[in-house]
Every structure is written in C-alpha cells, then in structure tokens.
C-alpha cells in the first residue's frame, strides 16, 4: 500500500471559532482523517505576534482544542497539538529565517495589513510570521496544506524557502502544495456579505460555533439581505441572500435550485428561519460534546500530551537532517 499523504494545517487560538471555520475547515478536516495522515496544530506562537491577554489566550487555546475534538476530529487518527509544545517549530523557524530574504517578507500582504492595524507594535515576530508558518509545514514533510485564499501567499513563501534549501543541500524538505477541498463554501460576513466571515470582526457579523440557539436566530434574522424578496443565488447582485443560501446548502446538502424552489413564495423571514434551524441543528451536537469535553480535563490532558509526543517524533527526524545539512555541532560526536 502506498504511504498516505500528509496534511498539516494550523489554526490560531484567538477569539471565537466561527461557522466559517466549521464549514470551511473543521468539517472538512474530519472528512480527511481516514484518507490522509493529518496534523492540526493550534498555533499559539503565531498568536503572540499581536499582544494578547495571557489569561484569555490560555483559555482560548483550550477552548480551541475542545472545539476541534467536539467537531469530530478524532485525536487517535489525527495528531492534534499545541505548536509551542513542540520546540522544533521555533528551532526550524530560526534556521529558515537565515534562508528567507527581507524583500520576500516585505511583500507579504498580511504583514502590511497587520502592521497598519497594530501600528504601535510592529514587532519582528509579525514580520517573520510566515517563516514560522513555513517551519510548521516543512517540519512534518507535509504534502498538502488546507488553507484559505488569504494564506496562499504564505504557502508560496514556504514553497520557495523549501526549494531554496533543497537546491543548496539536496532533498531535505517535501515541497508542499495547497489543498482546496471540493466542498466548503466561503462563508461571508452577515453584515458585509462581500467580506469573509471572520472571528476578528464585530460580534454581529459572525456566528460562533458556541453561540446559543437564540443568538444564532437573532444574528441570522438581522443578517443583511436586499430590498427584493426573491431567494435566488446571485452572489454578485444578491450577496447577502446568496451567502445564506450557501450556508443552508452546505449544511443540508441541498442544491441552490432546490433551495430556491423551497422558498419561491415565502419571502426572507421564513428563509432566514430555515437557515437558523439548519445552523442550530448542525451546531447543537457540537456544543453538547464541547460541554462534555471541556469539563474533562483528564481527557484534554491526554490528548494534548499524546499529540505533542507524536508530533515531536516526526519533527525530530526532520531536525536531525536539517542540523546535519547546515553544519550545526552534532549532539553526539
Ligand atoms: P482563520 O480563522 O482565518 O485562521 O482560518 C482558519 C481556517 O478556517 C482556514 O482553513 C480558513 O480557510 C477557514 N475559514 C476561516 N473563515 C472562513 C470562512 N468565512 N469561510 C470558509 N472558511 C473559513
Ligand atoms: N497563518 C495561518 C492563518 O492565520 C495559520 C497557520 C499557521 C497555518 N501555521 C500554519 C496554516 C501552517 C496552515 C499551515 O490562518
């Protein structure tokens, strides 16, 4: 049997994970767990490139882990762990810094955006953020990286750095490819449906995976639509309605045509309620499992320890090779 391809993805432990994260990422992750060899890292080191409240960050880290597990990711089949628990991320990141050019990093649009947003704290970590991301990916000899469009530029950098390193030292790293799942709509903001739904935007623009049913219904009722009353898929002219249709379709499996037919004569009120029903019934079981899992510290401890150990075993092999190639003093003569 051919070896399974390896998948790596990182998710930041900040704020609330949203319905967008669920439909676009988490739900697909659990579909991949049998076919691929998957690592999912909660990237706490990336999170501190912007100032964080320590107590909040600690909570957000555990919350993210519990949500991963609650949404169906099996910690036996997947390696789920915290980035900072595997020290090789920081180590390889340093080495790759020495193979990455200032010019390349200056071109990163996320750096430009973030340095505008956090003008009082344009730290070196924010600048070299993509190098840490490259280290995350290359440490595990990753074949495929599921990412959103906003991370394409960072993945391209990781590929270039891997290539550069391989050209000098021979084949050390697998050069990773992006992975864009077939299903997985881009979920848009409820208030500004031409922008992606994001946990860093105001509360009323997104549905959090842990939002209770009343809040979900309220947020969807207030979602921006348009002045017509026709439920029709037309992202250009009807971005709000089309977004709600995509959500309903992603959760119910119904086609756009079927949804359009179902709500041909109902107006937006009934349509929004149906979207709310679908979202609530998709999230309720996750929330129930979340409550159980997050109360079970022993289980969480087991998952995070075993995840870090298994990740470390792979990372160690890559680092041994890298250290030797670049000529770092051997641990054993
Ligand atoms: P982020 O929350 O931006 O760190 O993204 C984490 C993962 O969730 C990435 O794989 C994104 O592609 C996915 N994701 C985030 N927001 C959305 C969204 N609004 N629609 C679809 N996928 C999303
Ligand atoms: N930068 C990614 C984001 O903000 C998170 C991330 C960190 C990541 N390391 C990664 C994604 C490695 C994929 C692979 O979404």
- Closest-CA residue to 29 (of 82, 73, 80): 73
Give the pairing of strands 37-42 and 6-11: parallel
Alpha-carbon distance of 188 to 20, in angstroms, equals 8
Cβ of residue 13 lying under 6 Å from some atom of ligand 2? no
Per-residue pLDDT of 207-250, as tens digits, reads 999 999 999 999 999 999 999 999 999 999 999 999 999 999 99
- Going by the annotation, the residues of the binding site are 12-14, 20-21, 136, 148-150, 187, 196-200
Pocket test for ligand 2, best of 38, 83, 133, 134 (most atoms within 8 A of CB): 133
Residue 97 has pLDDT above 80, yes or no: yes
Mean pLDDT of the 82-86 span: 98
Q: List, in order, residues 6 or more apart from 76 with CB less than 8 Å away.
A: none
Cβ of residue 135 lying under 6 Å from some atom of ligand 2? no
- Kindly list the protein residues whose Cβ atom lies closer than 6 A to any atom of ligand 1: 11-12, 20-21, 23-25, 146-148, 186-187, 196-199
Determine the pLDDT at residue 285.
Answer: 97
Mean pLDDT of the 127-136 span: 98
Determine the pLDDT at residue 218.
Answer: 98
- Going by the annotation, the residues of the binding site for L-tryptophan are 136
Residue 70 has pLDDT above 70, yes or no: yes
Cite the active site residues: 114, 196, 199
Alpha-carbon distance of 76 to 71, in angstroms, equals 14
Cβ of residue 24 lying under 6 Å from some atom of ligand 2? no
- Closest-CA residue to 50 (of 133, 114, 131, 100): 114
Count, residues in the chain: 333
Alpha-carbon distance of 79 to 308, in angstroms, equals 8
- Chain centre distance of CA 165: 27
Per-residue pLDDT of 308-330, as tens digits, reads 999 999 999 999 999 999 999 98
Determine the pLDDT at residue 3.
Answer: 87
Residue 24 CA to ligand 1 center (angstroms) comes to 6
Per-residue pLDDT of 142-177, as tens digits, reads 999 998 888 999 999 999 999 999 999 999 999 999
Per-residue pLDDT of 176-204, as tens digits, reads 999 986 655 689 999 999 999 998 899 99
What is the percentage of the chain residues whose pLDDT exceeds 70?
98
Give the E-state strand segments of 45-90 in sequence order.
78-82
Determine the pLDDT at residue 30.
Answer: 85
Give the E-state strand segments of 83-170 in sequence order.
144-146
Alpha-carbon distance of 241 to 234, in angstroms, equals 8
* 229, 271 Cβ separation under 8 angstroms: no
Residue 217 CA to ligand 1 center (angstroms) comes to 22
> Of the ligands numbered here, which is closest to the C-alpha atom of 133?
2
Residue 202 CA to ligand 2 center (angstroms) comes to 22
Per-residue pLDDT of 257-285, as tens digits, reads 999 999 998 999 999 999 999 999 999 99
For residue 92, count other CB atoms closer than 10 A to its CB. 23
Determine the pLDDT at residue 183.
Answer: 56
Alpha-carbon distance of 122 to 108, in angstroms, equals 14
Averaged pLDDT score across all residues of the chain? 95
Environment class of 202 (CB within 10 Å of its CB; exposed 0-12, middle 13-18, buried 19+): exposed
Q: Which atom of ligand 2 is nearest to the CA of 12?
A: 5
Sign of the alpha-carbon torsion through 12, 8, 198, 62:
negative
Alpha-carbon distance of 290 to 271, in angstroms, equals 28
Determine the pLDDT at residue 320.
Answer: 96
Assign 131 a pLDDT band (cuts: 50, 70, 90): very high
Determine the pLDDT at residue 147.
Answer: 87
Cβ of residue 145 lying under 6 Å from some atom of ligand 2? yes
Cβ of residue 211 lying under 6 Å from some atom of ligand 2? no
Alpha-carbon distance of 175 to 142, in angstroms, equals 8
Determine the pLDDT at residue 76.
Answer: 97
For ligand 2, atom 13: residue with the closest CA:
9
Residue 29 has pLDDT above 90, yes or no: no
Residue with more model confidence, 184 or 292: 292
């Amino acid at each position: 049997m051919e070896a399974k391809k390896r998948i790596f993805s990182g998710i930041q432990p900040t704020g609330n994970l949203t319905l967008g994260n669920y439909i676009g990422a988490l739900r697909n992750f659990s579909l991949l767990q049998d076919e691929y060899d998957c690592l999912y890292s909660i990237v706490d080191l990336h999170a501190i490139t912007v100032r964080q409240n320590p107590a909040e960050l600690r909570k957000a880290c555990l919350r993210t882990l519990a949500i991963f597990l609650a949404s169906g990711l099996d910690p036996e089949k997947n390696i789920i762990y915290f980035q900072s628990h595997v020290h090789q991320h920081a180590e390889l990141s340093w080495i790759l810094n020495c193979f990455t050019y200032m010019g390349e990093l200056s071109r990163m649009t996320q750096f430009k955006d973030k340095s505008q947003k956090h003008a009082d704290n344009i730290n070196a970590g924010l600048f070299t953020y993509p190098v840490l991301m490259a280290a995350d990916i290359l440490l595990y000899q990753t074949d495929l990286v599921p990412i959103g469009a906003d991370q394409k530029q960072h993945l391209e950098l990781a590929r270039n750095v891997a290539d550069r390193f391989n050209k000098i030292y021979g084949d050390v790293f697998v050069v990773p490819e992006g992975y864009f799942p077939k299903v997985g709509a881009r979920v848009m903001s409820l208030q500004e449906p031409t922008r992606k739904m994001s946990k860093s935007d105001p509360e009323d623009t997104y549905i959090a995976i842990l939002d209770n049913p009343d809040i979900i219904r309220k947020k969807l009722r207030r979602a921006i639509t348009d002045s017509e009353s026709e439920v029709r898929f037309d992202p250009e002219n009807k971005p709000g309605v089309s977004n709600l249709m995509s959500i309903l379709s992603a959760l119910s499996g119904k086609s756009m045509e079927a949804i359009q037919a179902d709500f041909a004569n109902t107006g937006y009120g009934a349509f929004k309620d149906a979207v709310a029903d679908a979202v609530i019934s998709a999230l309720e079981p996750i929330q129930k499992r979340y409550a159980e899992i997050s109360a079970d510290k022993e289980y969480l401890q087991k998952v995070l320890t075993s995840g870090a150990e298994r990740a470390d075993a792979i990372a160690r092999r890559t680092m041994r090779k890298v250290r030797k190639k670049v000529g770092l003093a051997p641990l054993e003569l």
